[in-house]
Amino acid sequence: MQKVPELKIGTRIDIVFENEINTSNAHYMKALIYDIEGGKITISQTTPALNRNFLNRRVLITFLASTEKRVLRFGVRAMLTDLIVNYQISSDKNVEALILKKSAQAEPIDFRMHFRVKLPSLSDISLFIKEEKINLIDISLGGARFTCPKSYPFRYGDPVKLRLVIGSKEFAFEARVRNVLQPQEYSSNKTIQYIGVEFDHDNKQMEALLGKAIMDIERQLLSEGKMT
């Protein structure tokens, strides 16, 4: 039986409103866990921030964790019950904090497509179509967005063969086109198109390496103050 990790103080989390799960207009908010006392979870003000109008909304707290040599996303269902404007996190610093009441234990969730990271300029993750390296905008365990020349005839729902390079490892696999967007009229480059794809594979090694790479990028961006 798979061991389910527990939420801990200091864990970076992503929150989504329960009624928006798996919808195209879902709002994903980042936060940090300040304290856990029984079923009461105190977190930092989210990014983007929430106000009292959102109290009593049901949410899903999600976090990444390593288990059995795989990186998985877990979820904890809860309700937003209070907003504290002067929560003391140190002897000389008060901040806004949110109070959540947990309603269930953590469980694995299939939430991969919604948690993407934008790649820094120096990254060891590359994506190729045939032998051509394409401009990778962002990536998650379940998909990616990139730009490529209009000469590639992408259509919604079409399969596409890709090659992902992570460090010294290469993985060939299929993906399925989910978005095809043309540049805006005022864009200076009208020869490219914006493509979103959903990965279609069952490669555990690729998933583990990509999950680790994504977590490393998140940590790097946080340390540089480019991600909150």
Domains and CATH numbers, the chain: 12-112 (2.30.110), 117-223 (2.40.10.220)
Contacts 24+ apart (CB under 8 A), 110-113: 111/21, 111/62, 111/73, 111/75, 112/73, 112/140, 112/141, 112/142, 112/143, 113/140, 113/142, 113/143, 113/198
Q: Residue 38: which region, alpha, beta or left (left: phi > 0; alpha: psi -120 to 50)?
A: left
pLDDT of 227 higher than 70:
no
Which of 182, 135, 178 minimizes the C-alpha distance to 158?
178
pLDDT of 228 higher than 50:
no
User: Which residues have C-beta within 8 Å of that of residue 156, sequence separation ≥ 6?
Assistant: 177, 178, 179, 180
pLDDT of 199 higher than 80:
yes
DSSP bridge pairs for 173: 162
- In 6-59, alpha helices (H): none
DSSP bridge pairs for 47: 30
Q: Quick one: pLDDT at residue 153?
A: 86
pLDDT of 55 higher than 80:
yes
Alpha carbon 3 to chain centroid distance?
22
Lowest mean pLDDT among 5-9, 127-131, 151-155, 216-220: 216-220
Q: Quick one: pLDDT at residue 112?
A: 46
* pLDDT > 70 fraction of the chain, expressed in percent and rounded: 85
Q: pTM of the predicted model, to two decimals?
A: 0.52
Strand ranges (E), the chain: 12-17, 28-37, 40-44, 58-67, 70-90, 93-102, 107-108, 117-118, 125-129, 132-139, 143-149, 159-166, 169-181, 192-200
pLDDT of 1 higher than 70:
no
How much is the average pLDDT of 37-60?
Answer: 92
